Amino acid sequence: MEKEKQPFDFDYIIIGSGFGGSVSALRLSEKGYKVIVIEKGKWLRAEDFPKTNWNVKKWIWLPTLKFFGLFKITLFKHITVLSGVGVGGGSLVYANTLPVPKSEFFTAETWTHLADWKNELKDFYPIALKMLGASLNPRLEKGDLALKELAKKIGKLDEFEATEVAVFFGEPNKIVPDPYFNGNGPDRSGCTFCGGCMVGCRFNAKNTLDKNYLYFAQKNGVKIQAESEVYDVLPLDSINGSTGYKVMWKSSTSFLKSKGEFKSRGIIFAGGVLGTIKLLLKLKRTSLPNLSDKLGSGIRTNSESLIGVTTFEKDTAFSDGVAIGSILHTDQHSHLEPVRYPSGSGFWRILMSPLAHGKNIFVRLAKVVYDIISHPVKNFKIYFVSDWAKRTQILLFMRTIDSTLNFRKGIFGMKSSLEKGQGPTAFIQEAKTLSEEYAKIVNGKTTVLLSETALGIPTTAHILGGAVMGKDKTEGVIDKDNNVFGYENMLICDGSMISANPGVNPSLTITALSERAMSKIKKIN
């Protein structure tokens, strides 16, 4: 993009401040571009984060009730999606883990014909790991040690390992000069191992995006405008955007709903699947009709299963440590991780029920009733345990099965439909078997979200796809370099670009792919 004398407010407008948006902001500013990042959520500081998730007004994003927290729950017919909101996007609530996917991800048939992805990304994963401050978790807590015992029990001890996480493991509560960027970054404080990573780190230890990519982007002059939701993007004077774009935004938190607009040469959509796909599905009917008909296709999850294991041992604390401190690779396609919340964060308990599989809701509910009647004391102890988060280990099971959904615009937002393969399911037998074995080790009992038991709708924190790559617009929404088919100077850099199932936490891969996309953009002459 050549710098020209035109009445533009910015060279690039980036919609969203998560992993893709933050990478884009920094790298474009380094190349001399004038950039603004527009973020729907709030700019949250340490004091804004809730101490526990019972403080739902600080935890949940639900603007209709004036809840402006960092965590959002979105319900669809096929899945329930957990996501982050705020400056820094998903980095505010994710569990810090930064795994590189296995080779099957890079060679998946959905995108292997576009590039040699393992080779294409080999230089960008290390950059992403460095920028995000990846470190090996130095402490295995009770939940991790129990997973290690499970690994030994099933003959997979060699497949158990501590996680690489985006956390500063300095001296707890001691403020020190920036340890990552030769002292040029913000001061930091060491991890307290409180388990609070997913409700917002209040101790300046988690390497959220405002402490790396966004921090340096701001130093380079990037403007970050929070509490603003983009509702329209219009090409200027030409249908393909070659002469620039006008972006319309409105307040996402104010009663008055103040509005504004900016003009730019280029646009980068980086609002995640729930933000980018929802907006583009709307705009395809109006101001961006050239968008591919593949928009909304290829929606994936990591085929997760989330199962809670509550122990009856009063001296056991699962809440100590980082959010995810270890991982067990149960086979070539599947992984199991222990996930923790901080002590006192027992909000999820009100939504839990006994674990039950069955072919329909009547069978499952009958099994739940039978479980309650058969084990009244155990169920009473689990439900009324004094500190649910402290005594409950959540097990996250993920696998690389490649089934996809389709998102389309509905009356009240987006609606999902099954596109390919087996639909997402809450009933994964391997996850059930592993969690029950884990429960034996910790002297506990398994539970799951009632929505999963009753409706069979699984919960995911890893929603991907919807603007996948293709050789042309008949196959995808963007090309292999993230350029949107049908428009100039328009890119998508977020989870919606992911074109295969990574089977593991995707944040690192989103970062690496965004680094690669930005490397293709020329510096200003």
pLDDT value, residue 6: 60
For residue 297, give the 3-state DSSP assignment.
strand
Instruction: For residue range 109-153, list pLDDT tens digits in order.
Output: 999 999 999 999 999 999 999 999 999 999 999 999 999 999 999
Q: Is the pLDDT score of 251 beyond 60?
A: yes
462 is a catalytic site residue: yes
Name the residue among 100, 73, 12, 50 with its Cα closest to residue 327.
Answer: 100
Q: List CB contacts of 394: < 8 A, sequence separation 6 or more.
A: 306, 307, 308, 309, 338, 339, 340, 341
pLDDT value, residue 431: 93
Q: Is the pLDDT score of 5 beyond 80?
A: no
For residue 416, give the 3-state DSSP assignment.
strand
Instruction: Please state at what angle helix 142-153 crosses helix 429-442, rounded to 10 degrees.
Output: 120
- Name the token pair of 123: 């230089």
Contact call for residues 208 and 88 (beta carbons, < 8 A) = yes
- Pick the catalytic residue from 78, 329, 335, 462: 462
Compute how many other C-beta atoms are within 10 angstroms of the C-beta atom of residue 294.
20
Torsion (CA) 369, 370, 373, 379 in degrees, nearest 10: -70
Q: Is the pLDDT score of 455 beyond 70?
A: yes
pLDDT value, residue 3: 47
Instruction: For residue range 46-55, list pLDDT tens digits in order.
Output: 999 999 999 9
Amino acid (1-letter code) at residue 45: R
Name the CATH architecture for the domain at 10-519.
3-Layer(bba) Sandwich (3.50)
Instruction: For residue range 86-109, list pLDDT tens digits in order.
Output: 999 999 999 999 999 988 899 999
- Name the token pair of 314: 């009063």
Spatial distance between the Cα atoms of 447 and 424, rounded to a whole number of angstroms: 19
For residue 32, give the 3-state DSSP assignment.
coil
pLDDT value, residue 423: 79
Task: Report the Cα 162 to chain-centroid distance in Å.
Answer: 20
Burial call 483-513: b when 16+ CB within 10 Å, e when fewer:
bbbbbbbbbbbbbbbbbbbbbbbbbbbbbbb
* pTM for the full predicted model: 0.95
Domains of the chain, by residue range, sit at 10-519
Instruction: For residue range 29-48, list pLDDT tens digits in order.
Output: 999 999 999 999 999 999 99
Long-range CB pairs of 413-417, under 8 A, 24+ apart, other chains included: 413/278, 414/76, 414/274, 414/277, 414/278, 414/281, 414/296, 415/76, 415/77, 416/76, 416/77, 416/78, 416/79, 416/299, 417/77, 417/78
